[in-house]
Amino acid sequence: MLRLKKIKTNQQKLVLLLLIVLIAVNCFGQKTGRSVINLNANWSFQKGNSSSVSMVNIPHTWNAFDTMDDVPGYYRGIGIYKKKLVLKPEWKAKKLFLYFEGANQETEVYLNGKKIGSHIGGYTAFRFPLENLKFNGTDEVSVKVDNSYNENIAPLTADFTFFGGIYRSVSLEVKEPIHFEDNQYASKGIYIHANQVTKASAEVIVNGNLINSFANTELTILSTLTDAAGKKINEVKFSTTANASKVVAFQLPKIQVSNPILWSPENPYLYQATTQLLDKTGKVLDEVKTPVGLRFFSFDVEKGFFLNGLPYKLIGASRHQDFAGLGSAVSKSLQVKDVELLKDMGGNFLRIAHYPQDQSVLDACDSLGILASVEIPIVNEITETEAFYNNCKTMQLEMIKQNYNHPSIIIWAYMNEVLLRMKFSNEPERKLKYLSNIEKLAQSLEDLTRKTDPTRYTMMSNHGDVNGYIKAGLVKIPMLVGWNLYQGWYGGKSEDFGPSLDKIHQQVPDKPLLVTEFGADVDPRIHAFTPLKFDKSLEYGMLYHQIYIKDILKRPFVVGAAVWNLADFGSETREETMPHVNNKGLMTLDRKPKNTFYLYKAYLNTKPFLKIGNGNWNLRGGVSAANVITQNLQVISNTDTVELFVNGKTLGKKKVIDKITNWNVPFRNGKNDIKAVSFVKGNRIEDLTSITFNLKPEIFNNLTVPFKTLNVLLGAQRQFVDEDNQEVWLPNQIYKEGSWGSIGGEAFKPKNTSRQSYGSDKNIISTLNDPIYQTQLIGLDSYQLDVPRGKYEITLYFAELAGTGASTLPYNLDSLIATNKEIPEQRIFDVYLNDKQIIKNINLAANYGAANAVQKKFECVVADDKGIRLMFKGIKGKPVLNALQVKTIN
Ligand code: GCB
């Protein structure tokens, strides 16, 4: 103090300040012992043998775009990443590591041209020590990643895209020669779990490993538990003499907590354990901070799931990790957003499927109170080799050890629908052998999991072939059984779901039952007033989920349920209305909620909720002879009554039934303002939206709205909204005098498929608006539009659908589907417009190839009262028309 007073000059003050900063930095540096440097920026990247090198940032995948194009397949091969390391001289005395959070799927890492390690599997982390570094700015890391098919690495086949690349973060870890380490499974080296948790007390157990690459020395391990406010609760320590070059496993004395605040979805309270490695002098050599959630849980076959002694229905969704335009190379903040959206929906359960995901996802589950299950990617089938088995076991160990500390995890799982792609179906003996090999693998993974982590439950997810799984001996192995059920989608009707749950419960009375998947594809661009299975309409999806959620909620023995899927996801082999995307998400690929999301939100939220269910349907169309048209609009809410206002006028109040009110809304052409209002305990909540309506004339001689464009889908009962062009495509009608429509013909029906209600499920080449081409009228005689005199532009849309009936998805839950061997039909026909031949001898398959989008545009002047007449004349086979657009030309 006295001395300080003597410091007078500015220079002296500056020196003192610098000194304080230096001491602080030094203390801080020493405090944790380790530093982690993010290495994501600026890697050079080269794909395969290509000579072109580009600069990329990690997360990166080389498949973000080729998985979405019209060329079947995507690049599955090698990619090489390189980066020079910037190393500080003071790190010469430290231990350096490269830590990869995930690269798909086989990785070899080289330092200065020398291989330093390799890793198998695309969804778990790995770490390699960096030795013999030069520290002169030339040290270079090069990483060879390969996402080729490898029969020894799971997944072999699955309904999702296997994006290649270093798609999760990479970092450089700088540690003291003595540090916490689990030098096998890339964990943090510290394992923490809570034991004997009750409302009155709990114990926190800290286990771990350390490595001493120095000399024999005395060490202390100190673990301090603090509460969420940072207040110390308790600490424990353990001292040992560690020999040089030895890994030392340790277990600290239990940390006692009295009157713990328990972790739950409502209050995801996290304590923190700071575990330090100290040398003789008390210097911190290493430090690991771990969030700790104190909770206890159990499953009961009849009563369901209990957390902290209270019953909970586990309900939520499964999640894939990719995002629109990014493939799997998704930032941590977008991943966290998914968990936030699930929480916002009211979900308390996330099935992290079909593989372990980014740490940020589980961190978010911990902090938001989402219970989670995590699984390794054994999907559909196995390979009966030692190598496949060993890789699976390593993945299971990596998954458990890397994620062990997350309080949100309650389930480890390891197989999904392993009987779906049954190998050796025609060789009974061989098939039995295959089944017994699956059983062996399942049993060994089960044993490994229980031994490695006895604090959690185990699970396997099966498809609906319940007897098959029982017979194969698979149902008795895990502690919980998940069933992926799709009644009303891949087969049967949605109403079959409830009874099938009851049946499974009878067949498997001793295993708690989870519905680990259920869902229906919703392409948010498609709408239907007579929804049909597989029409991909939002309306069918709503009907499906309305039935499912009620059936799940009313059965206590259904311990949990996860919608397949939280969001749409990439599945390159899928074609259908949105090729390469599985549309079963409650949100789109870029996370826009669909109505189905709001349905769950209404069911699962206790906070008053009200949402006009236009979903993304802000542009509608319809046909009317008047200047208004009445169409259904749903309002989704968990309140008792809803009042709806349309363009300022009330439509009255309605009682909410099963979270929905249905309204016959009189839409006028153009903009319509809609408002829904509810009162909850005197408080008013409301939702507003505006819907643009494209009203189309039913009759032309007395136009009530101006006629500019008419877009018609033939052979369809659905609407398609093309938002980019602000066009609504309406289903066709049969011609009536004064109006418009087709004469003759019947809707295309795919052959060899029981699942597709109508339309083709093939990718239509050269368009993003596949639904315009996926339905068709076959054998039509003519198309008549009784339009007034004037000038018109007519566009005919064609695609040959025959021979394209059933897709050959490697993933298909409908066992009845036969592989399609149809040859594209060689139909030849002519088209006449008002008696003038406009198309001669068109052969869609021969001229353009099957499933190729063809547009033919014509102009015509209507100078009489006969309107527009299109005549179709078959030369060979039947003529077809997929869609039609008529525009007025001024
Ligand atoms: C399943 C699979 C899942 C698929 C889903 C579907 O049963 O487990 O990977 O994506 O069905 O949408 O077909």
Mean pLDDT of all residues in 832-859: 96
Give yes or no: residues 502 and 587 share one domain.
yes
Q: Give the CATH number of the domain where residue 501 resides.
A: 3.20.20.80
- Residues 6+ positions from 258 with CB-CB distance below 8 Å: 200, 201
Q: Tell me whether residue 769 is in a domain.
A: yes
Residue nearest to atom 6 of ligand 1 (CA): 159
| Contact between residue 665 and residue 631 where contact means Cβ atoms under 8 Å apart | yes
More confident residue, 14 or 573: 573
Would you say the CB of residue 674 lies under 6 angstroms from ligand 1?
A: no
- The answer, yes or no, to whether residue 781 has pLDDT greater than 90, is yes
Q: Identify the band that residue 184 occupies on the pLDDT scale cut at 50, 70 and 90.
A: confident
- Residues 6+ positions from 10 with CB-CB distance below 8 Å: none
What are 416-454's pLDDT values in tens digits? Answer: 999 999 999 999 999 999 999 999 999 999 999 999 999
Compute the distance from residue 763 Cα to the ligand 1 centre, in Å: 19
Mean pLDDT of all residues in 97-107: 98
**What range does the domain containing 849 cover?**
707-889
Q: Tell me whether residue 857 is in a domain.
A: yes
Give yes or no: residues 842 and 756 share one domain.
yes
More confident residue, 2 or 47: 47
Give yes or no: residues 477 and 599 share one domain.
yes
pLDDT at 17: 52
Q: Give the CATH number of the domain where residue 844 resides.
A: 2.60.120.430
Residue nearest to atom 3 of ligand 1 (CA): 159
Q: Identify the band that residue 802 occupies on the pLDDT scale cut at 50, 70 and 90.
A: confident
Mean pLDDT of all residues in 129-150: 97
Atom of ligand 1 nearest to the CA of 813: 13
CA distances from 238 to 183, 187, 248, 408, 673 (A): 21, 21, 12, 28, 69
Give yes or no: residues 412 and 520 share one domain.
yes
Q: Tell me whether residue 697 is in a domain.
A: no
Give yes or no: residues 202 and 175 share one domain.
no
Residue nearest to atom 10 of ligand 1 (CA): 159
What are 730-742's pLDDT values in tens digits? Answer: 999 999 999 999 9
| Contact between residue 801 and residue 851 where contact means Cβ atoms under 8 Å apart | yes
Q: Identify the band that residue 668 occupies on the pLDDT scale cut at 50, 70 and 90.
A: very high
Give yes or no: residues 107 and 203 share one domain.
no
- The answer, yes or no, to whether residue 307 has pLDDT greater than 50, is yes
Give yes or no: residues 450 and 587 share one domain.
yes
CA-based end-to-end distance of the chain: 91
Predicted model pTM:
0.94
Domains: count for the chain: 4
Pocket mutation for ligand 1, best pick of 156, 157, 159 (most atoms within 8 Å of C-beta): 159
Q: Tell me whether residue 302 is in a domain.
A: no
Q: Tell me whether residue 672 is in a domain.
A: no
How far is the C-alpha of 512 from the C-alpha of 347, rounded, in Å?
20
β pairing state of 581-582 and 569-570: antiparallel
DSSP 827-861: -EEEEEETTEEEEEEE-HHHHH-TTB-EEEEEEEE
Q: Tell me whether residue 668 is in a domain.
A: no
What are 603-653's pLDDT values in tens digits? Answer: 999 999 999 998 778 999 999 999 999 999 999 999 999 999 999 999 999
- The answer, yes or no, to whether residue 21 has pLDDT greater than 60, is no
Structure-block tokens of residue 887 = 């525009």
Mean pLDDT of all residues in 721-747: 95
Would you say the CB of residue 576 lies under 6 angstroms from ligand 1?
A: no
| Contact between residue 43 and residue 83 where contact means Cβ atoms under 8 Å apart | yes
For the sheet with 670-680, list strands across it: 619-624, 683-697, 670-680, 641-646, 649-655
Pocket mutation for ligand 1, best pick of 577, 811, 812 (most atoms within 8 Å of C-beta): 811
Mean pLDDT of all residues in 466-474: 98
Give yes or no: residues 236 and 318 share one domain.
no
Q: Among 607, 606, 677, 587, which Cα is nearest to 635's?
A: 677
How far is the C-alpha of 256 from the C-alpha of 237, rounded, in Å?
13
What are 226-256's pLDDT values in tens digits? Answer: 999 999 999 999 999 988 888 899 999 999 9
- Residues 6+ positions from 77 with CB-CB distance below 8 Å: 47, 48, 146, 147, 148, 164
| Contact between residue 698 and residue 625 where contact means Cβ atoms under 8 Å apart | yes
pLDDT at 30: 46
Phi and psi (nearest 5°) for 32?
-100, -15
Q: Give the CATH number of the domain where residue 87 resides.
A: 2.60.120.260
| Contact between residue 68 and residue 124 where contact means Cβ atoms under 8 Å apart | no
Give yes or no: residues 781 and 867 share one domain.
yes
Mean pLDDT of all residues in 321-343: 98
Give yes or no: residues 82 and 208 share one domain.
no
Compute the distance from residue 561 Cα to the ligand 1 centre, in Å: 15
Mean pLDDT of all residues in 741-769: 87
Domain termination residue (choose one: 159, 180, 201): 180
pLDDT over 90, % of the chain? 88
Q: Tell me whether residue 530 is in a domain.
A: yes
Q: Identify the band that residue 392 occupies on the pLDDT scale cut at 50, 70 and 90.
A: very high
Give yes or no: residues 351 and 408 share one domain.
yes
Tell me the average pLDDT of the chain: 93
3-state helix, strand, coil in the chain (%, to 5): 15, 40, 45
- The answer, yes or no, to whether residue 271 has pLDDT greater than 80, is yes
Domain termination residue (choose one: 606, 626, 651): 606
Three-state DSSP at 291 gives: strand
* Strands (E) located in 541-587: 558-563, 569-570, 581-582
pLDDT at 11: 56
pLDDT at 703: 85
Stated as kind and residue range, the H or E segment containing 505 is: helix 497-507
Q: Give the CATH number of the domain where residue 237 resides.
A: 2.60.40.10
How far is the C-alpha of 188 from the C-alpha of 289, rounded, in Å?
10
Q: Among 346, 356, 318, 811, which Cα is nearest to 564's?
A: 318
Domain termination residue (choose one: 272, 288, 304): 288
What are 27-36's pLDDT values in tens digits? Answer: 444 467 899 9
pLDDT at 811: 42
Q: Identify the band that residue 822 occupies on the pLDDT scale cut at 50, 70 and 90.
A: low
Mean pLDDT of all residues in 818-837: 79
Q: Tell me whether residue 655 is in a domain.
A: no
Give yes or no: residues 204 and 321 share one domain.
no
